[in-house]
Amino acid sequence: MNYKLIKLFRLSLIILVMLVQVFPQTRRDPRCVAMAGAYGAVSRGLFAVDYNPANLAFSNEYNSYRLWGGFNFSFSNNFISIKRYKEYNGQDFEAKGGKLKRKFISEIPERGWRIFTDTHFAIPYLNYSSGNKAFTSDIIMIGDIGLPKGLVRFIFEGNPYKKGDNYLDMDFNEEFLMMGQYAYSFAIPFKNFSLGFTLKYLQGFGYFGLNPDSSNGYIQTFFKTDKNYIIGEGKYLFQQSLGGRGFGLDIGIASNEIDGYRFGASLTNLFGKIYWQKKTLVSRLMGGNEILPWNGDFYLYEFKINEARFDKFFKNIPYDEIFPGEGKTIHDTTGFIVRYPSLVRFSLSKWISEDALFATDFVAGFEDRLYSFGAWKWCMGIEIVRSKEFPIRFGVAFGGKDNRELTFGSGYHKGFIHFDWAFGVSNGLWFSTAKGFNFSIAAYTTGKRKD
């Protein structure tokens, strides 16, 4: 086969994956999505992995689970909804003294305009649990891209001049992550509670992004007698790699059922890190240096605005002296680290009737990156099992990255064959105001518990 065609195929594959990832918990299943993430106390079998591995110790209607196929996808942004699109699309932003434009800019979040995607594939057959042990394997892809609020303001209203409002933040935060997560989980039962542990191997397939610790910028405008110019500077370090590996640890504790109540707490992705620039089977097959931009090297771009004002332009001062900028590739084989953020979860479930289960979780992330969020999230869900063949689930959540979520789902359970699905809207509680959606399907089989 022609070598150029092979390189073109490799590059097309990378671009395809990146397009899918134009960004909550990364490992999900339809029951979890339908209950809006209120899952820490009710998850069972292999579905307890990433939520609370201690749940593997509890006896259940089914002794074993094998997942034959699963797909989960979420897409959201923090600004555009159907309602907002109708409000601004085709309107004259300059009418009435720019009243509509000022309203538009005031509604842009402080973090700027962000787009999040999160895709999760469960590898068929290689997700299995039996008794108090489970082995799971998943492909996870996460993306977080956007524009800083300062740049959006600059596009729509130019450089500001009002005192106290003359600083434009130009901090870009862009990340794409593709990885495999392979985990072995087990639980240890005690008299009144159980402990659970998950040991994870994280295989990095690809990372593309700006280093958040080395990328920042700003533009500032001065309109005074002694200061009448624009200044600014920026530094952005783009990193990439097609090979990485790391490890993570989950720890969970869960109580036995007490008068219909069950309590749990877990810490997910403790010590989770991925060390990039490591040779793996995938990186050897893909040939990263040949298909990545800049031959796989890092790229550093720096700019500066040196007191840009009209008299400099009339004096024919060279443009590159006023706006100097330079980009260069950096060959760095020492590697870099991407933290796989941790989550803490407190869970409670209660049978409110013989065929209705209520669950609630409080979840918090320790940093605002990838699927994590630096805030609390409150999840509530209900599962109605009046018909065991057709369970009905719905939930609502507040806080976290998606702010508000409304979800629902169902399934078809016939003998040992199970099929579940779920759909939800995020960043809003109705279709017209929502700014994203979640979708999840899964097919799995179960083994009856031996009494």
Torsion, Cα 348 416 136 421, to 10 degrees, reads -60
DSSP state of 111: T
For residue 397, the model assigns a pLDDT of 92
Q: Does the pLDDT value for residue 445 go beyond 90?
A: yes
Q: What confidence tens digit (pLDDT) does each residue in 314-351 have? A: 777 888 888 899 999 988 877 888 888 888 999 999 99
Buried b (16+ CB within 10 A) or exposed e, 273-282: ebbbbeebeb
Q: Does the pLDDT value for residue 282 go beyond 90?
A: no
For residue 335, the model assigns a pLDDT of 82
What is the percent of the chain with per-residue pLDDT over 70, rounded to a whole number? 88
Q: Does the pLDDT value for residue 424 go beyond 60?
A: yes
Q: Give the count of domains, the chain.
A: 1
Q: Is the dihedral of CA 212, 215, 221, 225 positive or negative?
A: positive
For residue 101, the model assigns a pLDDT of 85
Query: Which of the given ranges, 40-54, 267-281, 313-327, 355-369, has the highest pLDDT on average?
Result: 40-54
Identify the band that residue 155 occupies on the pLDDT scale cut at 50, 70 and 90: confident
Residue 29: closest CA among 45, 16, 17: 45
Residue 109: count other Cβ atoms within 10 Å of its Cβ.
Answer: 13
Q: What confidence tens digit (pLDDT) does each residue in 228-258 have? A: 888 899 999 999 888 899 999 999 999 999 9
Among 3-12, 180-189, 192-201, the least confident range:
3-12
Greater confidence, 95 or 423? 423
CA dist 256 → 5, 46, 110, 260, 264 (Å) = 59, 19, 44, 10, 9
Locate 121 and state its tokens. Answer: 């594939």
- What is the C-alpha to C-alpha distance for residues 383 and 380, in angstroms, rounded to an integer? 11
Q: What is the number of residues in the chain?
A: 451
Name the strand (E) or helix (H) holding 147.
strand 133-147
Give the chain's radius of gyration (CA, Å).
Answer: 25
Q: Does the pLDDT value for residue 8 go beyond 50?
A: no
Q: What confidence tens digit (pLDDT) does each residue in 63-104 have? A: 999 999 999 998 888 888 899 889 888 888 888 888 888 888
- What is the C-alpha to C-alpha distance for residues 209 and 239, in angstroms, rounded to an integer? 6
Locate 38 and state its tokens. Answer: 């209120």
Q: What confidence tens digit (pLDDT) does each residue in 162-175 have? A: 666 778 888 888 88
Mean pLDDT, residues 348-356 taken together: 93
For residue 39, the model assigns a pLDDT of 95
Query: Which of the given ranges, 16-20, 374-378, 429-433, has the highest pLDDT on average?
Result: 429-433
Q: Does the pLDDT value for residue 18 go beyond 60?
A: no
pTM, entire model: 0.82
- What is the C-alpha to C-alpha distance for residues 449 and 64, in angstroms, rounded to an integer? 8
SS3 100: helix
The range of the structural domain enclosing residue 350 comes to: 3-448
Q: For residues 239 and 214, is the Cβ–Cβ distance under 8 A?
A: no
Identify the band that residue 403 occupies on the pLDDT scale cut at 50, 70 and 90: confident
Q: For residues 304 and 325, is the Cβ–Cβ distance under 8 A?
A: yes
Q: What confidence tens digit (pLDDT) does each residue in 138-152 have? A: 999 888 888 888 888
Identify the band that residue 370 occupies on the pLDDT scale cut at 50, 70 and 90: low
- DSSP H helical segments within 300-451, as ranges? 310-314, 319-322
Q: For residues 173 and 238, is the Cβ–Cβ distance under 8 A?
A: no
CATH of residue 343: 2.40.160.40
- What is the C-alpha to C-alpha distance for residues 412 and 173, in angstroms, rounded to an integer? 42
Show the CA angle centred on residue 199, arms to residues 272 and 61, nearest 5°: 125
For residue 6, the model assigns a pLDDT of 43
Q: For residues 298 and 239, is the Cβ–Cβ distance under 8 A?
A: yes
Q: What confidence tens digit (pLDDT) does each residue in 22-60 have? A: 334 568 899 999 999 999 999 999 999 999 999 999 977
Please provide the average confidence, as pLDDT, over all residues in the chain. 85
